[in-house]
Amino acid sequence: MSKKLKIGLFGFGVVGQGLNDIIRSQSLNLEVVKIAIKNPDKERTLPASLFTTSHDEILDNPEINTIVELIDDADAAFKIVKKALSNGKNVVSANKKMIATHLQELVKLQAEHGTSLLYEGAVCGSIPIIRNLEEYYDNELLHGISGIFNGSSNYILSKIFNEGLAYQTALKQAQDLGFAETDPILDVGGYDPKFKLTIATAHAYGLFINPDHILNVGIQNLSDNDIQYAKEKNYKIKLVPTARKISTKQVVTFVLPKFVKADDFLYNVENEYNGVTVQAAFADKQFFFGKGAGGHPTGAAVLSDIAALRYDYRYEYKKYNQQNGLIHTDKVNIEVYLRYIHEYTVDKLQVENIVERFSRNDYKYVIGSVSLKNLIANKDLLIQKDVFIAQTGKLNYSEDMIKSIAEEGVLLN
């Protein structure tokens, strides 16, 4: 039999209100006792007695056994979650930056205090990818996980490739619809999908990676020339985070725009939808598809976690606890399309194995291989306005790389 949950809710924005709508439409053994907000003067649809501006009023309330954290401030969210777990309260959160940045510490807190932190809503909205990585793939050998993890960027790219909108026009439309912020760099710059990739990698491979160690380059420098090139090749451009096992012991991660072919699952993932591809040794390739943004889709993922807590569910972090010896590495070469103005860009990135080159006064590009290590070291160059880079999907290995990992076993393609 499920236990009664007494909930303290932090945040009553789009997701918080979406969650409340879903809870009120269901007959569940739970009750929202108090809701923490920032602005007490804002008109609400619920009784004023439900709201408070004091975090401690909720965190120190012995009646409340479950905290649901849905605020957009990662630092404040961490303080809330840390205190709640330490006080013996279970927590559901959708704050991907907070979780990605502090995941290892949060795992230790859960173990120390016998509490549970669930965060399905933090990664890809309504897609249940975390629970699947944790449960379905718990004993699987995963070759890779990649996909479209950010609805805002995908909405913009969909409008560009399907309706012919200019980048700035599509961005403005996304902002008007509430998909993108006034300063959209967290989305279009690849930071949001990087945080989500960090969390997914922890469950896929048992690796707790500092997000600062993962390369993220976004779509903010996309030009008409890049779009025209992709269309001529019958590609679409998608912003794709990738975690891939490149040997028996090494995993690479990065977030880059990607040229996607028509036979790729991601090709038809449009607008605010997300898609996740998991490549497994035995289950082979599997694809998850669903809405990645919005109050009700994300609220549904949050409610799934809340419902699981009624039965004392917790993540076991099985692959982390197996101590499988995997390490995070940058020892791989990525084939890329690089559009640039100045020749020193190609020289500094040490582009090798160039298979295509084009040059005219206002547009230059090469397609060649660049080491991930070099891309990370030169990220400041990659985000300059006259540079755009996209992966082709191919990984290559230099002789030095092959030698350095040959002792571990066969390379994984």
How far is it, in rounded angstroms, from Cα 387 to Cα 276? 28
CA-derived radius of gyration, the chain: 22
Give the CA distances from residue 271 to residues 125, 161, 263, 286, in Å, rounded to whole numbers and listed in that order. Answer: 14, 11, 19, 21
Give the CA distances from residue 388 to residues 3, 172, 192, 218, 350, in Å, rounded to whole numbers and listed in that order. Answer: 53, 21, 19, 9, 16
How big is the chain, counted in residues? Answer: 413
Phi-psi region of 177 (alpha: psi -120 to 50; beta: other; left: phi over 0): alpha
List CB contacts of 127: < 8 A, sequence separation 6 or more: 274, 276, 288, 289, 290, 292, 301
Asked if 23 and 49 touch (Cβ cutoff 8 Å), the reply is: no
Q: Where in the sequence numbering do the catalytic residues fall?
A: 196
Q: Single out the residue of 10, 12, 11, 14 nearest to residue 295, CA to CA.
A: 14
Asked if 158 and 300 touch (Cβ cutoff 8 Å), the reply is: no
Give strand pairing partners of 252: 244
Asked if 129 and 137 touch (Cβ cutoff 8 Å), the reply is: no
Phi first, then psi, for residue 391 (nearest 5°) are -85, 150
